[in-house]
Structure 1
Amino acid sequence: MTMDASSDYDHVLLEHRYKLDLSATQRIEICRHDFWIDTPKFALMFECIGHMLYTRNQIQASCIFIHGEGGDGKTAAWHRLKFLSANSDKKMVFVELSENTSRHKLLDRICEAFGIEVGGRNTARKEDLILNYIRVNNVCAIVLDELNDALLQPYAQKRTLLSLMRNLSGTLKLCVIAFGNTEARDIVMLDRIIDRRFVQFVVKDWEMGQDFVNFIATYEAHLPLKLKSDLASPELRTLIHTESLGIMDNVVKIMKCLAMDAIDSGAERIAPEQFPRLRDIAMRFGFNLHIPKVDRNADKSKK
């Protein structure tokens, strides 16, 4: 009787072990894939949003503004909300407010998100059309991304956005979920009504603790490495946290590029010996590890 070969790969989740039989090239490509890991870092945020999605019998809907420095995981949370919306009867409408090549006005983007043809003559009926879309599609929330880009526009457009955010939660009874950076937070706080209505959720960088250890250990279980790296060990977790500066984006990039290097070299595990070459390895595989110009944690403590 032969032993099941999969028992040699206990460090990889069972549903991902088939990937270990793929070629090195295929496994290196898999390392670039993004996926969601549930973590206490965002657990309170999702619980809060879950309660906010109940909007019946309220004069105005509850709202939340999720903000922090770049690379802190907000984009991953945005895509997670998209996944949850697609698999729930409580739907969300998603609008990205960053500059784009079409240069659509803010109101146009909102209308498009609610299935309203831009440029139509029924401007006065747009609110009625949005309300009908909300009822038919059971929409409970609107999710606004890159709020900072929209708030850095000229004063008139900025005031339009802030007014619109108030009306979405008031007139249309939609839970407004907004993502932005700390600069956007400072601007939003200038509008006393919005500042009063919105829950403020700050996305913080990783501290060295059990939540961080659990995150990198879970991430390792998804990587197509044939040997166990034990990223949760004191030496490796300290190296990852130190080199990443606790920034989520850096943490993920470090694990990705070192796993790719380990596959390419045949070592098949992430090891401390790779870290002196970390910047070169990251550049080789097309990753940039961000070094902030200011102390991110010091800035937050002043807010």
Structure 2
Amino acid sequence: MSDYDHILPEKRFQADLGDRDRLKICKKDIWIPTKRLDPLFETIEYVLMSEDQIQAPGMLIYGAGGYGKSAIIQRLEQMYAVGDQRIKAIGVGEDLDNSKLRDLICDAFGIKLSNRRNSRERTARLLHILQTEHFCALLIDELHDTGFKTFSQQTNSLSLMKHLAGRPLFLCLICFGDERAKEVLEKDDQISRRYIYWPLELWKDDTDYCDFLATYETHLPLRFSSELAGKVLRKRILKYSHGNMDNIVKILKACSMDAIISGRERIEIEQITDDISFLCLKYGLSLVPSKSPIPAKRGK
């Protein structure tokens, strides 16, 4: 067994596992802390500290596919799973029946819907759950699909969102979506002025990006150092990922798996070429097509 100094101490044993086990490790999703997201998590923390206000604040974190929304959602669920400030998450991915936003929320909190139960009864039941189980916020994934598909859904969903944020529920809404969700929210002045709009940005060749690559490498069960944060490799990864978070991770996964299969045991520049999308497909991964970045404007 080598020292494997390029791997986290608690994970160095993984480099001596069989190829199949190491391939599975490479394919796993992992959370890499990055300073570029610290301001976002700090703002969310302040949003959740909103007591004694007429209406709870809301937040829309938006970006195109592959900008890292799913990873942020999963991290928030872990951070606020217990304690006196808990978050309940819902998303269109769980909705196979194209249900209304109201139905998804009731289902998430275990509130059974029936023709005999009216809105006041549902509100009372939800309030009881929020107070006894210490939920202070609702996390809504893919808002553009969950509640804004049709004009009728938009009207009903916006009305429901106002109701949830007002008394007696006073529930903070942390929403994730794309530009379509932002456009719909901005149509309603009452909602729009209470929302913080936070755009997710593409990666660029900066310190945060270098740190991300260097940290990611410490989780890979490869027997030799790849020096991912080195100038040549990091620029090549950025070029073919188009700065898209999802693409960066998929390229790293595919190249690390290929490094094991080929016996190279390190990620090399020769793997990341115009054929990188085919290499990703070989290992069951699909790159997101390049799209122009969303302008980075924050504010209410």
Question: Who is 2:34 aligned against?
Answer: 39
Aligned residue pairs, count: 295
Distance 2:295 2:13 in 1: 43
Give the 5 Å matches for 1:165-176.
165-171=161-167, 172-176=169-173
Indicate if the aligned counterparts of 2:100 and 2:153 stay in contact, CA closer than 8 A: no
1:192 to 1:98, Cα distance in 2 relative to 1, 3 A: farther
Q: Within the alignment, does 1:238 sit opposite 2:239 as a pair?
A: no
Range moving further from structure 2, 143-152 or 20-29: 143-152
Alpha-carbon distance change, 104 to 75 in structure 1, aligned in 2, over 3 angstroms: same
Bigger mean CA offset, 93-102 vs 34-43: 93-102
Superposed CA deviations along residues 67-110 of structure 1, whole A, max 9, x for unmatched, are 01110000100111111122433111111135832333221111
Amino acid at match of 1:129: R
User: Is residue 284 of structure 2 the alignment partner of residue 274 of structure 1?
Assistant: no
1:102 paired residue number: 97
Structure 2 gaps of 5+ residues are none
The equivalent of 1:181 in structure 2 is 178
TM-score normalised to the size of structure 2?
A: 0.93
Question: Residue type of the partner of 2:17?
Answer: L
> Kindly tell me: are residues 22 and 98 of structure 1, through their superposed partners in 2, closer, same or farther at Cα, counting changes over 3 Å?
closer
5+ residue gaps, structure 1:
none
Q: Deviations over 1:219-251 (max 9, x none)?
A: 111011010000010000000000100000000
Q: Alignment partner of 2:193: what SS?
A: helix
The one-letter amino acid of 1:254's match is I
SS at match of 2:53: coil
Describe how 1:162-241 pairs up with structure 2 within 5 A.
162-171=158-167, 172-241=169-238
Name the structure where helix makes up a greater proportion of residues.
Answer: 1
CA RMSD after TM alignment: 1.8
Are the structure 2 counterparts of residues 217 and 249 from structure 1 closer, same or farther at C-alpha, using a change threshold of 3 Å? same
One of 66, 72, 77 as aligned partner of 1:77: 72
Q: CA deviation at 1:29?
A: 1.2
Question: Residue 149 of structure 2 aligns to which amino acid in structure 1?
Answer: Q
Following superposition, the deviation at residue 207 of structure 1 comes to: 1.1
Secondary structure, counterpart of 1:200 in structure 2: strand
State the partner residue of 2:288: 290
Q: What TM-score results when the alignment is normalised by the length of structure 1?
A: 0.92
Verify: 1:155 aligned to 2:155, yes or no: no
Cα offsets for 1:128-179 (capped at 9, x unmatched):
1111111100111011111011344222221111111122112211111000
Q: Check the 8 A contact 2:60/2:175 in 1, yes or no.
A: yes
Deviates further, 172-181 or 107-116: 107-116
Other structure's SS at 1:86 match: coil
Q: Structure 1 residues 151, 122: closer, same or farther in 2, change over 3 A?
A: closer
Query: How far is the alpha carbon of 1:114 from its aligned partner?
Result: 2.1
C-alpha contact 1:55 1:174 (8 A) present in aligned 2: no
Cα distance in structure 2, aligned partners of 1:151 and 1:174: 17
